[in-house]
């Protein structure tokens, strides 16, 4: 009986959030490091299905960095990075396409076939977004990264129309430009979509708990940050490494109308539900 009572209490706690977020748009970036763990992936997909059931519109951006690196190495090539950006020549681009589209399609298939969710893909061929080549400057040198791009335009009307028929949309961080397909940073594309749609939430599912003052000490997790506080932590070099592009993308999104950013560990069971539908949450929330 005690377990039943606890379950009822959880539902009561979640109710005001469910009511508040009905018909709102959430953008969720799922990092490639998380997608490597089968049981974790299954749990994340169930959480996404729950969001759809309670009336939330969801756009999922799937990463795949570790899978791409593995496939490149399997083909006898050496992955090349410059300041964390993957150099993407024509051969590498074909590998990136193969891997990311496979990850994307697998998520959609699981949502549709196992959980009866009406999910669909956002395909680059349909021009939901446009990109241009990144000209990366390091000091006085301009470095050619190949087919690496940044989003220049998001067709929010097309995406919102598609969300009316499929309340879960899944996309890979690949976007067409005037001269071909570009590999775009997943955190950046997630922020661009959230900004264009004025999303209620932009969530980053990672392999760490959130923003921590000391990454080696979970007790230093910061539950809530303002944009100003986040910028100060960047200046102090407390936010750095892989966390830096997420926080920067989040700050940009908030300044352009996104309500809140959440950075959470995707490896915690039901992490999305716990972060959204409970008062304390489990990760870091960034807000204005």
Q: What is the pLDDT of residues 175-198, one digit of tens each?
A: 999 999 999 999 999 999 999 999
pTM for the whole structure: 0.94
* % of the chain exceeding 90 in pLDDT: 85
Specify whether the backbone of 180 is left (phi greater than 0), alpha (psi in -120 to 50) or beta: left
Q: Looking at the domain assignment, is residue 5 inside a domain?
A: no
Q: Is 26 exposed, middle or buried (0-12, 13-18, 19+ CB in 10 A)?
A: buried
Give the torsion sign (CA, 10, 16, 17, 21).
Answer: positive
Most confident of 30-39, 83-92, 93-102, 210-219: 93-102
Q: Looking at the domain assignment, is residue 199 inside a domain?
A: yes
Count: domains in the chain: 1
82 strand-pairing partners: 85
Q: Looking at the domain assignment, is residue 13 inside a domain?
A: no
CA–CA dist 176, 114 (Å, integer): 31
* Residues 206, 190 contacting (CB under 8 angstroms): no
* Residues 119, 111 contacting (CB under 8 angstroms): yes
* Residues 234, 248 contacting (CB under 8 angstroms): yes
Q: Looking at the domain assignment, is residue 150 inside a domain?
A: yes
Q: Looking at the domain assignment, is residue 69 inside a domain?
A: yes
Q: What is the pLDDT of residues 36-79, one digit of tens each?
A: 888 899 999 999 999 999 999 999 999 999 999 999 999 999 99
Q: Looking at the domain assignment, is residue 272 inside a domain?
A: yes
pLDDT, position 32: 92
**Strands (E) located in the chain:** 25-30, 57-62, 81-82, 85-86, 119-121, 129-138, 141-154, 168-171, 174-177, 180-184, 201-206, 224-226, 260-265, 284-287
**Strands (E) located in 78-164:** 81-82, 85-86, 119-121, 129-138, 141-154
Structure tokens given for 199: 């999303």
Range of lowest pLDDT (3-12, 39-48, 112-121)? 3-12
* % of the chain exceeding 70 in pLDDT: 98
* Residues 73, 79 contacting (CB under 8 angstroms): yes
Q: Looking at the domain assignment, is residue 161 inside a domain?
A: yes
Residue range(s) defining the domain that contains residue 239: 18-287
CATH code assigned at 60 = 3.40.1160.10
pLDDT, position 13: 83
pLDDT, position 137: 86
CA–CA dist 172, 101 (Å, integer): 7
Q: Looking at the domain assignment, is residue 179 inside a domain?
A: yes
């Amino acid at each position: 009986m005690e377990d039943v009572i606890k379950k009822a209490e959880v539902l009561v706690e979640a109710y005001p959030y469910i009511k508040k977020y009905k018909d709102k748009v959430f953008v969720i970036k799922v990092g490639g490091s998380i997608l490597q763990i089968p049981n974790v992936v299954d749990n994340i997909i169930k959480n996404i299905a729950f969001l759809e059931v309670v009336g939330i519109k969801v756009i999922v951006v799937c990463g795949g960095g570790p899978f791409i690196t593995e496939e490149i190495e399997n083909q006898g090539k050496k992955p090349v990075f410059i300041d964390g950006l993957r150099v993407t020549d024509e051969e590498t681009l074909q590998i990136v396409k193969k891997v990311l589209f496979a990850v994307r399609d697998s998520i959609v298939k699981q949502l549709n076939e196992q959980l009866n969710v009406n999910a669909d893909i956002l395909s680059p061929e349909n021009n939901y977004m446009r990109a241009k080549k990144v000209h990366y400057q390091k000091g006085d040198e301009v470095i050619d990264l190949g087919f690496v791009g940044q989003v220049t335009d998001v067709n929010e009307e097309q995406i919102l129309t598609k969300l009316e028929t499929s309340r879960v949309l899944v996309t890979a961080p690949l976007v067409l430009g005037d001269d071909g397909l570009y590999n775009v940073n997943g955190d950046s594309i997630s922020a661009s979509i959230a900004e264009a749609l004025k999303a209620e939430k932009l969530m980053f599912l990672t392999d760490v708990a959130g923003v921590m003052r000391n990454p080696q000490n979970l007790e230093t997790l910061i539950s809530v940050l303002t944009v100003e506080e986040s910028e100060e932590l960047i200046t102090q070099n407390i936010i750095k490494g892989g966390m830096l592009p997420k926080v920067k993308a989040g700050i940009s999104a908030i300044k352009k109308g996104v309500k809140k950013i959440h950075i959470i560990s995707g490896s915690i069971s039901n992490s999305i539900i716990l972060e959204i539908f409970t008062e304390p949450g489990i990760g870091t929330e960034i807000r204005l």
